[in-house]
Amino acid sequence: MLNCKQVAHQASDYVDRNVNGWQRFGMVVHLFICKHCRRFVQHVRITRDFMGKREHEVASEEEVKKVMKGIKKPE
């Protein structure tokens, strides 16, 4: 049976569904009995989903101008 340390190390793979059937089964059994690991895995999931929902970081005007200057350069 997995211990908490192993569950914590596999938490991202678990929430991303990058584990095989046996690994998943081991995680599910452990999470059923361990509230600390349930919380930890939930934090990984919240962090991942939160980052996916944030606004896209855009380049500054200066950065865009610099690129456009390179595009307009005669060959």
Partner 1 sequence: MEDTTPPLDLEKLKQQDHASFEQLVALYHRQLVAVARAIIGDSLAEEVVQEGWVSVYRALPKFEGRSAVKTWLYTIISNEAKTRLRKEKRIVALEDLGGDDDGYLSDDRFNAVGHWKNPAPDWHLDSPDQLLEEEHLQKCIDHTVSILPDQQKAVFILRDIEQQALSEICNILDVTDSYVRVLLHRARLKLMQVIDRYQETGEC
| Site residues (vs partner 1, CB under 8 A) | 3-6, 8-9, 11-13, 16, 18, 36-37, 39-40, 42-44, 46-59, 63-64, 66-68, 70-71
Least distance from C-beta 25 to partner 1, angstroms?
A: 19
Shortest Å, Cβ 28 to partner 1: 18
Least Cα distance to 15 among 58, 69, 51 occurs for: 51
Q: Positive or negative CA dihedral for 24, 27, 33, 34?
A: negative
16 vs 25, beta carbon nearer partner 1: 16
> Can you read off the two tokens belonging to residue 40?
């930890």
